[in-house]
Structure 1
Amino acid sequence: MTFMKLNIRAAMLLGSLMMAASPALAEAVLHRGNSGEPQTLDQSQTSIDIEAFILKDLYEGLTIYDANGKIVPGVAESWTVSDDGLVYTFKLRENAKWSDGSPVVAEDFIFSMQREEDPKTAAGYANILYPIKNAEAINKGKMPVDQLGMKAVNDKTLEITLERPTPFFIELLSHQSALPVNKASFEKNGAEFVKPGKLVGNGAFKLVEHVPNDHLTVVKNENYWDAANVKLDKVIFYPLEDQAAGLRRYEAGELDLVYNFSSDQIKRLRDANPKQVHVTPAAATYYYPFDTRTEPFNDARVRRALSMAVDRDFLAKDIYDGTKLPVYSLVPPGLENYGEPSKADFAGMSQLDREDKAIELMKEAGYGEGGKPLNIEIRYNTNPNHQKVATAVADMWKKTFGANVTLMNLDISSHYAYLQEGGKFNVARAGWTADYADAENFLNLNVSTNKTFNYGHYENPEFDALMKKSYEERDPAARSKILHEAEALIMKDQPIAPLMNDANLWLVSDKVKGWGDNANNEHLSKYLSVE
């Protein structure tokens, strides 16, 4: 009897221990479906959101966005601004550390931003930091990097001086190009500093594995200043350009999150589980740039005619099931400091009237029926929705002008690399999501000196002069008026054809907690957990 009681007690004790140990032993893993393979994990070379999702888990800037898209303190726990709006003084967190345990100090940000502006780095997003004093001159090789307007008052106090007051400067500092680089790792490893085992970050997670085109794994960074509140042990990113495959894996329970999915699945998915389908209006524009270096796209009449012939209502409603809105302006609506965008002059016309006017313009330019043949290649990044849009636009141009239209697609990394490196094209698919809530962020895409994102190499001295004037204007109302004039000029010349305002499409499993929809499309893994 005593022996049996001992056995029973032992079994009960063992069971209790196992039950108590199970939660501790269970690893909290989030499986994130990303919509493509990142081109880079180097802050200075990044350009697209699928890279930002990863980078912002590995690194933390002076400021960050919370789960609801609100700007909040990051490495900088607080800051003050001088009365003239030119000097920002940041107090860094005492317990901010790199993943190797070394402290994050003011000099880390100075080194990183000097590297960003150094012309030798050839950073595509160097212009993000142009509001900092001397940044643009340094980036254009006119001044040495040590003249950048930044100073370490002490290890935990950073002072940044601006060229001019910039109302959205705090937002700029949350951008991935403003993330710090670990100087010791960079100097030791060179370009290899982005590799697992060599990447030293200061974010909530650290990189442990990267198998290109298969998966990328990050684990909780025990040295992160807020590690106690990070609920995930591991996050695995999957580069899923094949949206159908991503959806199948999500529905099979292999993925907890999926970014971007074919819009024709929205109704079915909503019918099955509406809470898991997240369609959030975004400060983003889906557009087609024209290569203004090549004929006939160097003729504004041709560009205007092609833009007018696109039935945007059909694209938004029939292809995207209403998850996008037809637009006739580059700047999306909803920016508080800008107001109603300046639309193209044909925005108020019916589609039939637009097409009639487009045919007249095309004939005037010498193309179309009775004129020179119109041969057009549309390039787009591999994606079922983009293919549908390109196919529909090709059909519209064929029916309206008798154009011979061909399609070409590349994976997302190759597509944008080709455009950013200056490759020639006819028409290309592109999208722009606001880095900060200001019209300048969209209009700057057409400034002649923007060698990275001015894909069509548009040059207009009048437009450049208006943009320059906007940077010098401190009165918000006067500045907004100048930017509206600049947008009106773009809508007249049509170096780009804005087609739709985007929406962020996510599938979020019921297991995921802490998710917040927001127009900025900011979703740091540090705020998430899985049940």
Structure 2
Amino acid sequence: MLGGLSLAGLSACGQRQAAAEGDLLRVAIGGMPDSLDPAIGQFATAALVYKQIHGPLTDYGHNGGVVPGLARDWSANDNATRWTFRLHDGLTWSDGTLLNAEDVVWSARRIVDPASTFAQIGDFYSVLNAPEVLRQEAPPEAMGVRALDPLTVEFEMSAPISFFPLLMREFYPFPRHAIEAHGSGWTRPENFVGCGPFVVSGAGALSLQLRRNPLARNPARIENVHIEAVEDAATRQRLFRAGDYDLADNPMANQIALLREQIGDRLHSYTAPKFTYLKCNVDRVDAATRQRCTEAIDRAFIADNLLPGVATPTETIIPGSEFVSEVLAMVAVQRERGPLLLRCLSGERERIAVVVADDLRRAGIEVDILATPATELYQAVDAGDYDLALAHFDRGLKSEPNFMLEPFAPGQFADNMSWYTIDNPASSEFTALIAQARAAVDDTERDALYRAAEAIILEHTVVIPLFHERAFWLISDRVEGLPETIQPMLWGGAELIDA
């Protein structure tokens, strides 16, 4: 409650600031980004802010598809192993420095170079030598990306990938000159340089201030944005109803029906790539126990009672796919220690973990729940310190159904199940099918390959699907110009009708 009062006070300051500086979009989100540097940040809130302050190589259209970003157009060779992107002429960073193809090349190398950042393969998994650079087996210059001229960038692939431009919607080139001048401090407001519709103009422990970037290719229509982190969903929606915010994400999932009665069409619902599941540590939980877990959980009860109108129970990862277990022969392994350790986020998600644990106990599987903040949970899972983890991801605007399986591929953010070993035929087959799916040009063939890969990971109970969710946002009547069919994450085109 004290935090809510403090944040409300910050909102009042933001409103007074707006009177002096022009119109102000006031936004409440569940937490602060872990970094404003796209080569470092991992949180969903970071991905949301990146869309405002950084310019992607390609961009999201109003229907979620792919449209030009920094690149005006792109093309591939016949087998999609070489992609060429042509930049718009006259691009600049927010400080007026020219933005060219060499910036794009340097940025791609920086993302996978462990000497530069908390390196990750991200969406460059198919780029030639990117995995080797990540493992420090090759220098960054060996990566398959080069500038053909000041406006043309070429990516060479180690394997065909038919949808590479879709992945580039979240590749944000960096201002090399600012990073070399300020190091890790380049994202501070006084040093920040970007090419998105806004730039960072101020920052506090629980807030960010953005200002319109007039040098952006598509400058924002709103002058200022004030973002506040309000961790408690009940507080976010209460302050939205009080008029302190224009946008607020993720209202309380168990109050959607009540909210709809209270605020009507200011509550917006979206089809979203949101997935909740149990991540299984295959090194610590045998296959027979994992199978008993998936059979014991009453997904419909969780969806109907904890997340009514929000969650759809599922036994699959890809929305709309079908899976019938072949009930593989599984040999029980005698556990030499106590109950299964089920890790989860503290707060609202802990209620789901309690119901899951009750279901498992009724099936004779003892469970201890350990609820922690997000950072501690992620660190524990990465270190393998869990038996089961109640996991959740939101792919944001990546609404393509097959993209829901990609996080479980090798090197991606959800591959930490201890499943990938050299002598594991199942994970090897899964990896091969994912590679074939990425290369498939025909949509029907690609769908079939992704579903074949999904069947393998489900047959071996590496993950236990629970439900898919819709996304909900609270949007004030004074906000116009946001796309209607996708989540309101592209603020550059928004307008305030009373500004």
Match 2:303 to one of 301, 307, 316? 316
SS in 2 for 1:173: helix
Counterpart of 2:185? 192
CA distance in 1, matches of 2:75, 2:50: 27
CA distance in 1, matches of 2:287, 2:22: 58
Q: What's the CA shift for 1:116?
A: 1.1
User: Is 2:433–2:453's contact at 8 Å kept on the other side of the alignment?
Assistant: no
Matched, 1:489 2:456: yes
Q: What's the CA shift for 1:319?
A: 0.8
Counterpart of 2:289? 302
Tell me whether 247-256 or 473-482 shows the greater mean CA deviation.
473-482
Matched, 1:182 2:175: yes
SS in 2 for 1:380: strand
Counterpart of 1:15? none
CA distance in 2, matches of 1:485, 1:376: 30
CA distance in 1, matches of 2:389, 2:464: 10
SS in 2 for 1:151: strand
**1:370-421 CA distance string (max 9 Å, x none):** xx8852333222342x1221121122222332624334121x344334434x
CA distance in 1, matches of 2:384, 2:426: 25
User: Is 2:273–2:404's contact at 8 Å kept on the other side of the alignment?
Assistant: no
Counterpart of 1:397? 360
Matched, 1:450 2:416: no
CA distance in 1, matches of 2:165, 2:430: 24
Counterpart amino acid of 1:160? F
Q: Note the residue ranges of structure 1 that are not aligned, 5 or more in a row.
A: 1-22, 334-339, 347-360
Q: What's the CA shift for 1:57?
A: 0.8
Q: What's the CA shift for 1:325?
A: 0.6
Matched, 1:416 2:378: yes
1:205-224 to structure 2, matched below 5 A, reads: 205-212=198-205, 214-224=206-216
User: Is 2:339–2:365's contact at 8 Å kept on the other side of the alignment?
Assistant: no
**1:30-78 CA distance string (max 9 Å, x none):** 1111111211122112223211111121111111113432321111122
CA distance in 2, matches of 1:24, 1:495: 54
Counterpart of 1:255? 245
Matched, 1:327 2:314: yes
CA distance in 2, matches of 1:80, 1:192: 36
Percent identity over the alignment?
23
User: Is 1:466–1:483's contact at 8 Å kept on the other side of the alignment?
Assistant: no
User: Is 1:446–1:458's contact at 8 Å kept on the other side of the alignment?
Assistant: no
Counterpart of 2:323? 342
**1:82-119 CA distance string (max 9 Å, x none):** 33333332221223211111111001110010011223
Q: Note the residue ranges of structure 2 that are not aligned, 5 or more in a row.
A: 1-17
457 and 71 in structure 1: CA distance in 2 versus 1, 3 angstrom threshold: same
1:105-116 to structure 2, matched below 5 A, reads: 105-116=100-111
CA distance in 2, matches of 1:445, 1:457: 14
User: Is 2:433–2:452's contact at 8 Å kept on the other side of the alignment?
Assistant: no
CA distance in 2, matches of 1:276, 1:291: 41
Q: What's the CA shift for 1:122?
A: 5.7
121 and 492 in structure 1: CA distance in 2 versus 1, 3 angstrom threshold: farther
Counterpart of 2:494? 528
CA distance in 2, matches of 1:324, 1:418: 27
User: Is 1:439–1:483's contact at 8 Å kept on the other side of the alignment?
Assistant: no
Counterpart of 2:149? 154
Counterpart amino acid of 1:487? E
Q: What's the CA shift for 1:172?
A: 0.5
1:244-283 to structure 2, matched below 5 A, reads: 244-283=234-273
User: Is 1:90–1:158's contact at 8 Å kept on the other side of the alignment?
Assistant: yes
Counterpart of 1:286? 276
Counterpart of 1:119? 114
* Aligned Cα root-mean-square deviation (Å): 2.8
Counterpart amino acid of 1:72? V
CA distance in 2, matches of 1:221, 1:129: 28
CA distance in 1, matches of 2:148, 2:95: 24
Counterpart of 1:14? none
SS in 2 for 1:494: coil
User: Is 1:66–1:522's contact at 8 Å kept on the other side of the alignment?
Assistant: no
202 and 242 in structure 1: CA distance in 2 versus 1, 3 angstrom threshold: same
Counterpart amino acid of 2:215? N
442 and 259 in structure 1: CA distance in 2 versus 1, 3 angstrom threshold: same
Counterpart of 2:25? 30
**1:209-260 CA distance string (max 9 Å, x none):** 2212x21111111221222xx2111111111221111111111110111110
Larger-Rg structure: 1
**1:156-192 CA distance string (max 9 Å, x none):** 22222223332221110012xx211111111122122
**1:336-386 CA distance string (max 9 Å, x none):** xxxx3435458xxxxxxxxxxxxxx99x5557xxxx8852333222342x1
CA distance in 1, matches of 2:406, 2:50: 24
